[in-house]
Amino acid sequence: MTSGLPAVRAPFRDPSAGLGAQPVGAPARALFLDRDGIINIDHGYVHRPESTELVPGIVELVASARDLGYLPIVVTNQAGIGRGLYSEDEFLAYTAWLHRYFRDAGAPLVATYYCPHHPVAGRGEYLVQCGCRKPAPGMFLRAISEYSLDARTSAMIGDKQSDIEAGRAAGVDNVLLAGSNDVKDISLAWLAGINGGSR
């Protein structure tokens, strides 16, 4: 790599999630979702099923987004890996469980992109200033490339300003800052109305 930055990690891809049906002639688009605080309550470095509390309304939101033609893609900073609190293998095993949960609930997630680095608290290879840790856009840019996404008609929901900045830096202008208590009230009209997004 000419930049000297570590490569964005390959995502966890759910082989059974399917890409969903896009409107005829329309490019693929994503609903990018932060994980901690948007998908699960942020109890701090969640990485086990037994410590997972899903955000109210998130399964229904993901299912509805798929109905509107969005590919639900998770983009998550996972400094717990870099800090040595859990390994990448443990994170990926947990992610597989989370994907199974959503798939069984009728709201399959397509992929989870993650950044294990931290520029201050990381250990060993994880102590690095990278291009994937939000607010850097690396995870978004890789997803946009790998799934041939139209950033302009994609959307991002996050609970931190760094989520919003990362999405915008990748060309995703349709961004929403929300807390765990807000997810259940997110209007589907917002998603349906993005650049004529309703089918």
Number of domains in the chain: 1
What pLDDT digit, counting tens, does each position of 133-162 carry?
999 999 999 999 999 999 999 999 999 999
pLDDT on residue 15: 80
Q: Is residue 38 part of a domain?
A: yes
Domain extent, residue 130, equals 26-192
Using pLDDT thresholds of 50, 70 and 90, give the confidence band for residue 2: very low
Q: Is residue 20 part of a domain?
A: no
CATH at 152 = 3.40.50.1000
Alpha-carbon distance of 48 to 52, in angstroms, equals 7
What pLDDT digit, counting tens, does each position of 35-79 carry?
999 999 999 999 999 999 999 999 999 999 999 999 999 999 999
Q: Is residue 3 part of a domain?
A: no
Torsion 168-172-173-177 (CA) sign? negative
Q: List the beta strands (DSSP E) in 41-194.
A: 70-77, 111-115, 155-158, 174-177
What pLDDT digit, counting tens, does each position of 65-120 carry?
999 999 999 999 999 999 999 999 999 999 999 999 999 999 999 999 999 999 99
Using pLDDT thresholds of 50, 70 and 90, give the confidence band for residue 199: very low
Report the largest interatomic distance among the alpha carbons of the chain, rounded to a whole angstrom.
Answer: 48
Alpha-carbon distance of 164 to 101, in angstroms, equals 26
Residues serving a catalytic function are 34, 36
